[in-house]
Structure 1
Amino acid sequence: MEENIRLNKFLSDAGVCSRRAADKAIEAGKVLVNGKPAVMGQRIISTDQVVFEGQIVSNDNKKPVLIAYNKPAGIVCTAEKREKNNIIDHINYSERIYPIGRLDKDSTGLILLTNQGDLVNKIMRAVNAHEKEYVVSVDKEITGDFIKKMSDGVYLDELEVTTRKCKVRKLSKNEFNIILTQGLNRQIRRMCQMLGYKVKTLKRIRIMNIELGNLKEDTYRDVTAEEIAILNKMLEGSRN
């Protein structure tokens, strides 16, 4: 490990959790450094012992992992063990990994999981504006006005924000395709609700260059070396 590294970055690089989740764990007293509770902003060196939720953490000789999973409804995108339907226990992968971002419990489709903290940050930071594509069905017929308003951006009362302009196209009477470059909480569901529609099904089919394709529901695959090469090229210059 590099000398004098921030503790949250160390935990992220070790595949324990994202930096944000690491900060929450530190605040909750779940992280010890040399037997003492860690503090926010703490830096560590290679000789320090880090314990996360009772387990010693090491990121030495860690093999990079990036998998694509077709999430079924009912699975929760969290590493929190107290959630009985958490995605980590459900997949039961042989190495410690965590999800890149979220799909809400009722949604299905593509989610990436990894042990590479910097990769998570580069993909997820809204400022980097990376594309995520969805197919959505709603409870009534889709109009041209609905498509235009969704594309132009919708003001969300609950979040007090207007969504970014995005690409939306009608697929059938009650189904549309949408490509977002931000990931607000339950964003598509909130956008539809503001326009008088209710989402019936929501499926993510692409994250940047990685596509769901014909991956069966509740199964995962390794992201290919070719996909990773393209992904890394797309992430050049992204903030982490």
Structure 2
Amino acid sequence: MGADGTHSLVARHLAGGPTSSSAGIVGFSGRTAAADLGPRERRRLGPRSGMVIAPHGAALYVGFLDPVGNAVLDAPEGRCAVTTGPTYIWGAMFPESAETDAFRALREEHLRDALLARFRRHGWTERPLEVIAAADPGSVAAFRFNAAPSRVRDLAPWPAGRITALGDAVHATPPTAGMGAGAAIRDAAGLLSHLCDVTDGSCTVPVAVSRFEADMRVRGSEVLILAMRTVRWILATGTPVGAAVVTAAVPVLAAANRLRRRR
């Protein structure tokens, strides 16, 4: 069974070639301690997550993480994590280009400063960029996003047998839906459930794998469709028409949001 990620050797062997290709966008992420932000920005961001897609193909996601203060599950004593206090995990996304390719060669504060310069060049103000400017330089990194085909019939395109794959090895998903890891966990649970039918004698391994793959194709397609919808929005705003539409729409949406809050 191959659960070896986007560039899976197992899935490539089964499919006879790559199971994913470039999604068309590049991501850059970092980690910013809440204490390193000003009081005003901490209040504005709050303990929540959100993403904005702006003109010229620029998107910024900011998510709140407090694994100690907001722990959901009991953890063993002596656990170790890089993130311990209230922290904002952010991700900047741009369409792939020669400039973003050059960014991927940069590291730490050089990469952080290049991202800030790009956002500023496209009209972003300092307030939403504070979370990037205050980031731990050592946490800033670049990622190339891959995506599998979103059609059900194109996922796991091989005859069912005793070897299979799951997660990003089959349905590589950009993080734009926040569901990729969850889909892989769901795949694993589904495979285990179907293999249990083998132990009770109700089916053979190839039959169990075939049933698992049929379910996985549908689930993977659903997640990919959601993730690629956001990717297409980011790419669309990078065109002259898309940038103009977003520029005109943002003030209207902002005004509507202010009215909603007052109510």
What is the TM-score when the length of structure 2 is the normalising length? 0.25
- Tell me which protein shows more strand as a share of its residues: 1
Larger radius of gyration: 2
What is the TM-score when the length of structure 1 is the normalising length? 0.27
- Tell me which protein shows more helix as a share of its residues: 2
Q: Which has the higher contact order (CA 8 A, sep 6+)?
A: 2
